[in-house]
Amino acid sequence: MGGEMTARSEAGEMLAGSALENARAVAPVLRAEGSRIEVARALTPEALAAMHEGQLFRLSLPRRHGGAELPLPQLAQAAEIIGGADASAAWCLGQALGCAMTAAFMDEKPAREVFDPADAVLAWGAGIQGKLTVAEGGYLASGTWRFASGSHNATWLGGHSKVFEADGSPRLDKNGKQANRTALFPRAQAEMADDWHVMGLRGTRSEAYTVENLFIPEGLTSDRETEAERRVESTLFLFPTTAVYASLFSSVALGIAQSMFDDLVALARKKTPRGARNALRDSPVFQTKLAELEAQLGSPRAYKHAILSEIWETVDATGELSMDDRARIRLCTTYAINQATAVSEQVYHLAGSTAIFENEPFERRFRDIHAVSQQVQARHTNYETVGRYMLGHEADTVFM
């Protein structure tokens, strides 16, 4: 058993060393599959196979499962690389990486059941929408969860649920509040809803799913946000779900915007707008705007990476993530998404009529980033949350 554990740990260490290189190798495949992902409203078999071959879904898993346990700043970089190739693939990856971290809050045996297969992917919907009723050896799960990004390519699903005693009364935690847990179950045991018909991020297939009185063994449940349930001593697993998703999904936005910007530069080298005297590349107005956009996009990227790197070093040294640092993560990630969206909008306009055609790279990415901008991570109320905390109000730990 010890030798097997050592082998998995060594495999994880090797993966950590090649993680960003793997992401760059997978990116061209995802870029080529983009239009097919869009039509299928799901990751294509070719896209999914490339991501599994690059072991991208294992980047946040504990070393005991052969995962990379990649530091959060590098996880964010990987998400941005994939975001530049295909937004839907990157969003599915970001969701799966956040979900996979629950392995560190489970006993090893049930966690291996979920995460050891090479094609393992866990997805779950947003919010505490389910009900877990205590039963012998586990729970009976019932509920419907929505917005489960990547659920189409997942092998397991999770459901965040309130816990009830067998007699129907709420189970209370040590603070006197109703307890909640996340139940994991094979995707095949859930009823999927074909309800993901949207403007952008179409390939995420973020569908709803339902289970009714499904038995869940105790070992396949966890409370991801309770430190007492953490089984793995690693810096990565000291970061709450909110901070992880904010870091990864903001990277998706930066990746989309960077690709749009790069495509604009390529277009400008060959396009002369109708009725214009000069090609775009020779226009002083365009040249000025291009330089401004480069700075506008590079600034939030550098700001976010600096914040994440500094906080990672602090948490790695102290073993604690302060509320001040949680606020800084919320601020830099919200800012990154909104600045990336603003850059994308300007790129779209500068590309002119070229941007409206489906055979050009702009319109799908424009739709994708505007889907990203509607997600909770991009809300302008996040600024209010941070500002209130800065002024001494009680911290909102749900969004920070």
CATH number, position 154: 2.40.110.10
Residue 299 neighbours by CB distance under 10 Å: 13
Domain identity same for 369 and 347: yes
SS3 assignment, position 272: coil
Q: Tokens 């991570």 belong to which residue? A: 377
The residues, ordered by sequence, that sit 6+ positions from 250 with a Cβ below 8 Å of its Cβ are: 76, 304, 332, 333, 334, 336, 337, 340, 377
Domain identity same for 208 and 298: no
Q: pLDDT digit of tens for each residue in the chain (400 aa)?
A: 567 778 888 999 999 999 999 999 999 999 999 999 999 999 999 999 999 999 999 999 999 999 999 999 999 999 999 999 999 999 999 999 999 999 999 999 999 999 999 999 999 999 999 999 999 999 999 999 999 999 999 999 999 999 999 999 999 998 899 999 999 999 999 999 999 999 999 999 999 999 999 999 999 999 988 899 999 999 999 999 999 999 999 999 999 999 999 999 999 999 988 877 888 999 999 999 999 999 999 999 999 999 999 999 999 999 999 999 999 999 999 999 999 999 999 999 999 999 999 999 899 999 999 999 999 999 999 999 999 999 999 988 888 8
What is the 8-class DSSP label of residue 27?
Answer: H
Q: Which domain holds residue 145?
A: 122-224
Domain identity same for 381 and 298: yes
Q: Which of 224, 259, 291 is the last residue of a domain?
A: 224
Task: Give strand ranges (E) for the chain.
Answer: 122-124, 130-135, 138-148, 156-164, 180-186, 191-192, 207-217, 221-222
SS3 assignment, position 41: coil
Query: Which pair of tokens denotes residue 122?
Result: 């866990």
Domain identity same for 281 and 174: no
Contact call for residues 98 and 248 (beta carbons, < 8 A): yes
Q: Provide long-range contacts, Cβ within 8 A and 24+ apart, for 387-396.
A: 389/323, 389/327, 390/327, 395/323, 395/326, 395/327
State the chain's maximal CA–CA distance in angstroms: 79
Tally the domains of the chain.
Answer: 3
Residue 234 lies in a domain: no
Closest to 143 measured CA to CA, from 193, 211, 206:
211
Domain identity same for 261 and 277: yes
309-336 as b/e: b if 16+ CB within 10 A: eebbeebeeeeebeeebbbbbbbbbbbb
Sequence length of the chain is 400
Query: Which pair of tokens denotes residue 37?
Result: 């992902």
Residue 253 lies in a domain: yes
Domain identity same for 255 and 317: yes
Domain identity same for 126 and 111: no
Domain identity same for 293 and 330: yes
Closest to 60 measured CA to CA, from 5, 100, 3:
100
Domain identity same for 261 and 379: yes
Q: Which of 196, 224, 252 is the last residue of a domain?
A: 224
Domain identity same for 80 and 153: no
Domain identity same for 210 and 278: no
Residue 177 lies in a domain: yes
Q: Residue 61: which CATH number?
A: 1.10.540.10
Residue 166 lies in a domain: yes
Residue 293 lies in a domain: yes
Residue 395 lies in a domain: no
Q: Which of 191, 224, 257 is the last residue of a domain?
A: 224
Domain identity same for 149 and 97: no
Residue 44 lies in a domain: yes
The residues, ordered by sequence, that sit 6+ positions from 327 with a Cβ below 8 Å of its Cβ are: 386, 389, 390, 395, 400
pTM: 0.96
Residue 400 lies in a domain: no
